[in-house]
Structure 1
Amino acid sequence: MKGFITFFVIALLVGAGEGGNLWANNITINEYDMIWSYDETITGADSIAFRINIDSGFGDNDSFVNTWEVLLADKELRKEFRSSIYKELDVRINNKTDGIYLVDVDAMLSPDVIGKTHILDTVVNTYTTTYRFDTSVLNAGSIWFMGQAGTPVTIVMPQGVDVTNISGIDNATINITDHAEISGFLREISKDRGEITLTLSRNTSFIKKEINASNVTSPEKTDETKPVVEMLSWIRDASIVVVGLVIILLIYVFRIRKK
């Protein structure tokens, strides 16, 4: 995503030597919501630079990252990430942002960050955004995403919708089971910015399957409940007869005693 996190990490890594930074996008779409998870893997000298900049930016620059410094960095990430998304949402439905709401922003810095700054290892951070939709994705004609160019992306679609066209993903592959799953790499359209558009259509076969399943099970339920209904009816009729006989008997006994 072209948002604060990317630039925040770049700022933290200023002055880093050899190392690596991998940014992976995992998007799960449900009928009325979406969860976008970002997994960031920092390796080599970049992991040292990451710790040093947290220590100097949020701590006392003592070459040691403590829990409090990580919490401060985490809080700042959430705040700036949310602010960045509000400036430009990274998802659109039918090329509009109407009815799309950012519900939650979560940042979880790796606990491996805590400790001495000059440790050459791997740090894995996770960031998550959650959105809510006013209308069903099943009725959408398209869905659009904005992300960090060149980064891997996996998009899991809900059941009941077909993906008829994919644009903005390099080396795109689509796996279809009871839902569609698309993967590839965000194609660059400008510096650091990639955009994806999926053209959608409602899966009529999925709808028919639900209807057929309903039609098949209904007669079975009717057959199963028929004997029960007949038994209850018989019990009710028998109860009425018994009550009537009891009343007649009581009247008869009462008259005999009266005489």
Structure 2
Amino acid sequence: MKGYNLFLTGFLIITLFMPAFLAEPCTAAFVPSNNITLERGGMTWEYQEQITGNESIVFRSFIDLEAGNSDRFVNAWEILKAGSILRDKMEESIKTKPDVKLNGTSEPVKVTDVDFVLSTEALGKIQKTSSITNSATVSYIFEKPIDREANIWLMGTPTSSVTINLPAGFDVERTEGLNSKSQEYENNTTVLKGTFSSEKNITLWISENETYKAEMQERERIIEQNAENKTNATVNKTGAAGKAVEVSKSSGFFKDIFIWFYQVVQKVNLV
């Protein structure tokens, strides 16, 4: 994902004004993590990055210079503006160099939304070394939804942790670029955990679980059968109500005939 590169873009801007920061020993780090949820028709990529130590000073300085008034203090308005700047840069970066491919191509993968949240932990004097945890979420759709099998290519931050939730009912056949891999299975969903390799790319080969597919087909059949039974019951109930009305009408008709006949007989007797 581009959050890592995006932050580096800000730091390159900072270096033009504050080379002293790069001269100092690096006593802190970026700690990124990723949570990816795959669906048949799309996916979401939630990204989080913690910035600590000297890097947090550099990042606060970036906010103050790019979105503020260079007064060496970060306020709430500057955070909002910087968040908007970073969101736009992230969206532009993803469009320039896609970070997701489906079956070997990025063509069917379209970004529908980018949300960037710059933490209020950045508030205050730029010299603060306290940690800042920023987050972003990118939503994608697949114009050609996953059918029975697919391969997914993901470009992320080297060595960063990642959790990947497969579409419900899908199994993973094999993976490349996912280090320290572990696998769990919950509620018909396979969950992979590990880290991006130093090559920063992960490829997954997934396929639909035949047992799950059969269960879904049986569930659909039962739903359709229940709907049909309900329709038949309604029709039968309506038919029974119609017959009751006919009986009522018939009884009334014969009663009227009997009264008429009785009146005729009475008149004859009177004559």
Name the amino acid aligned to 2:8. F
What residue in structure 2 maps to residue 183 of structure 1?
193
Query: Superposed, which structure 2 residues align to 1:98-109 within 5 Å?
Result: 98-109=107-118
C-alpha change, 1:183 and 1:222, in structure 2 (3 Å) is: same
- 243-252 vs 30-39, which moves further: 243-252
- Confirm or deny: 8 A CA contact 2:73 2:126 kept in the other structure: yes
Matching of residues 59-70 of structure 1 within 5 Å? 59-70=68-79
| CA distance, structure 1, for counterparts of residue 85 and residue 234 of structure 2 | 64
Are 1:164 and 2:173 an aligned pair? Answer: yes
What is the percent sequence identity of the aligned residues? 28
Q: Give the Å deviation of 1:222.
A: 8.1
TM-score, structure 2 normalization:
0.82
Instruction: Give the conservation status (yes or no) of the 8 Å contact 1:171–1:184.
Output: yes
Instruction: Give a deviation string over 1:205-245, Cα, whole Å, max 9, x none.
Output: 10111233455677788889988876654443222111122
Q: Which runs of 5+ in 2 are unaligned?
A: 16-20
Offset at 1:154? 1.0
Paired position in structure 2 for 1:128: 137
> Equivalent residues in 2 for 1:238-249 (5 A)?
238-249=244-255
Determine helix, strand or coil for the equivalent of 1:148: coil
Query: Does 247-256 or 99-108 show the bigger shift?
Result: 247-256
Mapping 1:224-235, distance limit 5 Å: 233-235=239-241
Q: How many residues align?
A: 254
3-state SS in 2 of match to 1:137: coil
What amino acid is aligned across from residue 152 of structure 1 in structure 2?
Answer: S
Structure 2 CA distance for partners of 1:108 and 1:235, relative to 1, 3 Å: same
Q: Is the 8 A contact 1:91 1:146 kept in 2?
A: yes
Residue 236 of structure 1 pairs with residue 239 of structure 2: no
Q: Distance in 2 between matches of 1:52 and 1:10?
A: 9
Question: Could you list the per-position Cα deviations for residues 46-86 of structure 1 after superposition, in whole angstroms to 9, with x for gaps in the alignment?
Answer: 22221122112221211211122112211111111111111
TM-score normalised according to structure 1 size: 0.85
Based on CA coordinates, which of the two structures has the bigger radius of gyration?
2
Cα offsets for 1:126-148 (capped at 9, x unmatched): 01111011222243421111111
CA distance in 2, matches of 1:7, 1:139: 39
